[in-house]
C-alpha cells in the first residue's frame, strides 16, 4: 500500500455520498465481524477517513483557518506584552528603579554600617592586649 498523497476534487454531494458509503461499510463490518485486531484497525481507519472528508466539506476559507489562528495568537501575545510593559512602566517599582539608577563610573556612597568589615577583628580584641 502506497503512502502517496493524492488530490481529488469532489463536489459537496460526492463527499456526502462517500461519507454515507463509509458509514454503511463500517456498520456492516461491525455486524459481521468481531471488533478485534485488524478489524478494529480497519474500523478506525475508515472512521478517520470519514472524519477527514467531513472536515474538508465543512472547512471554508473564511479567514478562520490556521493562518488566522496563528495571527490571532500573535496578536494576543503582543497585546499581553504591551500590557505588561505598560504596567511595569507605571508601577511603584519602576519609580524605585529609576531612583536607584546610577550612571556608570559614579562612586557609590555607602552608609557607616555598610562600611563595617565583619571579618576584621574588633579594635578591643582581647588577643591584642
- Please count the CA atoms within 13 angstroms of the CA of 97 that sit on its side-chain side: 7
CB-CB contact of 74 with 32 (8 Å): no
Q: Where are the alpha helices (DSSP H) in 33-124?
A: 37-58, 66-90, 92-100
Distance CA 105, CA 43 (A): 75
Distances (CA, A) of 113 to 47, 63, 88, 118, 125: 77, 66, 32, 10, 19
With a cut of 60, say whether residue 10 has pLDDT above it: yes
pTM of the model: 0.42
Q: Dihedrals φ, ψ of 55, to 5°?
A: -60, -45
Rounded to the nearest 10 degrees, the angle between the axes of helix 92-100 and helix 66-90 is 60
User: Alpha-carbon distance 77 to 80, whole Å?
Assistant: 5
Q: 53-109 pLDDT, tens per residue?
A: 888 887 765 555 566 667 778 888 888 899 988 888 787 777 777 666 666 666 667
Kindly indicate the confidence band of residue 129, based on its pLDDT and cuts at 50, 70 and 90: low
CB 6 within 8 A of CB 49: no
Are the C-beta atoms of residues 108 and 102 closer than 8 Å to each other? yes
Amino acid at each position: 500500500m502506497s503512502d502517496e498523497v493524492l488530490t481529488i476534487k469532489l463536489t459537496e454531494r460526492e463527499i456526502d455520498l462517500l461519507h454515507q458509503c463509509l458509514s454503511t461499510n463500517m456498520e456492516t463490518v461491525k455486524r459481521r465481524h468481531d471488533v478485534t485486531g485488524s478489524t478494529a484497525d480497519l474500523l478506525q481507519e475508515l472512521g478517520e477517513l470519514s472524519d477527514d472528508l467531513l472536515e474538508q466539506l465543512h472547512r471554508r476559507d473564511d479567514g478562520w483557518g490556521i493562518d488566522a489562528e496563528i495571527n490571532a495568537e500573535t496578536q494576543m501575545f503582543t497585546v499581553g506584552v504591551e500590557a505588561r510593559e505598560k504596567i511595569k512602566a507605571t508601577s511603584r517599582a519602576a519609580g524605585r528603579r529609576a531612583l536607584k539608577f546610577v550612571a556608570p563610573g559614579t562612586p557609590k556612597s555607602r552608609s557607616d554600617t555598610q562600611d563595617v568589615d565583619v571579618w576584621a577583628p574588633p579594635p578591643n580584641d582581647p588577643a591584642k592586649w
